[in-house]
Amino acid sequence: MLSGTTINQLQVDRLRPQDLLPHRPPMLLIDQLVDYIPGESILAETFIKPDTMFFQGHFPGEPILPGVVLVEMMFQACGIFGRLEALNAVEVSDVSENYRPKSGRAIKIDKMTFNKPVLPNDTVRIQAVFEHKMLNFSVFKARVDIDGRGIAAKGIVTVLINS
């Protein structure tokens, strides 16, 4: 799985969100990893399919992706960051194909703002920038950008990441 003691961009390109998160469709909300800077940040991307279940009732005739889904995307990006950090912390000889860090969970949302609606056929990029850690709690500045239309949402999220 790993060829060195840290994960490089080539390895990130080969990892899929489902390799790093316990989520599965329809709750796996991230399609691919775009970039990972160890100890600093994660960038992920998702295409918003027109037939996604969230559009069925929010709102018929004028579908808008619910803000809570954008926040969940942020939490999932943070979870991926935490798992990549955990993989970077173990020795290569300790890593097997079945290695999985323990799960984490969402803890807190601060200063969240929703700037623009996310619509069917939008591509969004989810960025989480690591701010600090206290015990197993990690704080991130996170945002969701809509390709070509600006910021959809931004705020501060705290996650519990068990390594």
Percentage with pLDDT > 70 across the chain: 83
pLDDT at residue 149, as a whole number? 93
Task: Supply 50's token pair.
Answer: 């027109």
pLDDT at 6: 54
Show me where the domains of the chain are located.
9-161
* Whether residue 58 lies in the annotated active site: yes
Backbone φ, ψ for residue 8 (5° rounding):
-100, 175
What whole-number distance in Å separates Cα of residue 113 and Cα of residue 116? 10
Catalytic residue (choose from 58, 116, 141, 149): 58
Confirm or reject CATH 3.10.129.10 for domain 9-161, answering yes or no. yes
Residue 146 has pLDDT above 80, yes or no: yes
Adjacent-strand bridge partners of 134 = 137
Question: Taking all residues of the chain, what is their mean pLDDT, rounded to a whole number?
Answer: 87
Query: 135: helix, coil or strand?
Result: coil
Instruction: Give dist(CA 86, CA 162) in Å, integer.
Output: 9
What pLDDT sits at residue 1? 34
The two structure tokens encoding residue 7:
């994960």
Q: How does pLDDT run across 77-124, given as a tens digit for each residue?
A: 999 999 898 888 765 444 455 555 566 899 999 999 999 999 999 999
